[in-house]
Structure 1
Amino acid sequence: MAHEMQSSEVLKAHTHVWNHHLSAINSAALTCAVKLGIADVINSHGKPMTISELVARLPIHPTKGRHLQQLMRILVHSGFFIHQEERFSLAPASWLLLNDEPLSAKSFTHLKIYPHIAKSLDLLSDWFQNEVPTTFEMAFGTTFWNYAANNQRFGAIFNEAMACDSRLINKVLISECKHVFEGLTSLVDIAGGTGTVARAISNAFPDLKCIVFDQHHVIANLEGSQNLEFVGGDMFEAIPSANAILLKWILHDWNDEQSVKILKKCKEAIPSKEQGGKLIIIDMVMENQHQDHESAATQHLFDIVMMVLFAGKERNEKEWAQLFSDAGLSSYKITPSLGTKSIIEVYP
Structure 2
Amino acid sequence: MEGTNLTVVIEFILLGFSDLPKLQGFLFGIFFVIYMIILMGNALIIVITQVDPSLQTPMYFFLGNFSFLEICYTTVTLPRILMNLWTQNRHISFAACATQLCIFLILGLTECFLLAVMACDRYVAICKPLYYPLIMNHKVCSRLVAGAWMSAIPVVIVLAYQIFSLPFCGSNKLNHIFCDIHPLLKLACGDTSLNELSVYIDGALFGMVPFLLILVSYIKIITAILKLPSVMGRYKAFSTCSSHLMVVGLFFGSALIVYVRPKSSHSAGIDRIFSMFYTIVTPMFNPMIYSLRNKDVIRALKKVLPK
Q: Which has the higher strand share?
A: 1
Q: Which has the higher helix share?
A: 2
Give your verdict on TM over 0.5. no
The structure having more radius of gyration, on CA atoms, is 1
Q: Which has the higher contact order (CA 8 A, sep 6+)?
A: 2
When normalised by structure 2's length, the TM-score is: 0.31
